[in-house]
Amino acid sequence: MDLLSKPFPWLKRPVVTLSPLGLPTSLLIRDVYLYIGVFITLFGWIFTGSFLLSNALGIGLCVLMVSVINVPNLKVCTILLTLLFFYDIFWVFFSAKIFGSNVMVDAATQQAGNPAKYLLTEVLHVPAAAVPSHLEMPMKLVVPWNLATWSVDSSSGEFLMLGLGDIGLPGIMLAHLLSTECATKVKVTTPCLANDFRGIFRVFRKSSYVFQCWVGYIVGLVSTLLVGMVFHAPQPALLFLVPCMLIPLLLKAHSNGDLQRLWEGNPHEFSDTV
């Protein structure tokens, strides 16, 4: 909405001014459109079970995670991702020996009931056949194996799945590097970075660390997919993502003499760079 408000300034016009807790707050036109879009997506997902809408909600949760969670330095990122690296390996490869089944796979593939089914069938008298009985929870992104035969109903066919943690957690480190480079080398101002894609492209062009981690994430994700296809078994994505992102970053930062700066962090306010 910030991007759309630049060519369409009327989106910033206030619809009504509220005073919750005595503090005046204006409800803008863009806020109304945003709320309508959120409600359409949410109720469309509940009433149809579409995996496309579930993915949209999942992407929104990832954006929220990356936007809200700020880390102070690379040390915290390294410790967090290393611990999650072993956490992912344990629950995928060793949980079956302890609990009798693969806990991570069961949690990812188990279908949840539709919370709106009773409301639609018993209260609104919608035919039960028209209401999906199960919903794919927005805790993962799903993509059909066969793009030629997929349907909006996620209960049909087989799907590739990627947990939101495998997106949001590496994204937190990328966001940290992005804000660090903006505050030091690249000199991209916060409004430009937040409201103009050219600011982000300038960072990717001038910052080798951000671009390198981004490429490492792609390599790790492709490696996860290929290994899963070869062994016909689910793979912990962080097993590949963490080494592909962290190891080249640490080695390059050490060779450039920047490791200490990135490891301890910079004395700038991270909340101003989100």
- Fill in the DSSP letter of residue 153: B
Q: Which of 31, 166, 196, 272 is flagged as catalytic?
A: 166
What does the DSSP assignment read for 195-239?
H-HHHHHHHHHH-HHHHHHHHHHHHHHHHHHHHHHHHTS---HHH
159-163 vs 134-135, strand pairing mode: unpaired
140-144 vs 159-163, strand pairing mode: antiparallel
Dihedral sign, Cα of residue 71, residue 74, residue 75, residue 81: positive
Q: What are the b/e assignments for 30-43, b being 16+ CB within 10 Å?
A: bbeeeeeeeeebee
- The letter for the amino acid at 130 is A
Q: Which of 2, 31, 88, 272 is flagged as catalytic?
A: 88
Burial status of residue 17 (CB atoms within 10 A of its CB: 0-12, 13-18, 19 or more): exposed
**Closest by Cα among 200, 177, 182, 193 to 249:** 177
Residue that has been written with the tokens 């993915």 in this structure: 55
Q: Is 196 a catalytic residue?
A: no
Q: Is 106 a catalytic residue?
A: no
Rg, Å, the chain Cα set = 22
**8 Å CB contact between 88 and 107:** no
Both tokens of 33, joined, read 């459109």
Active site residues: 88, 166
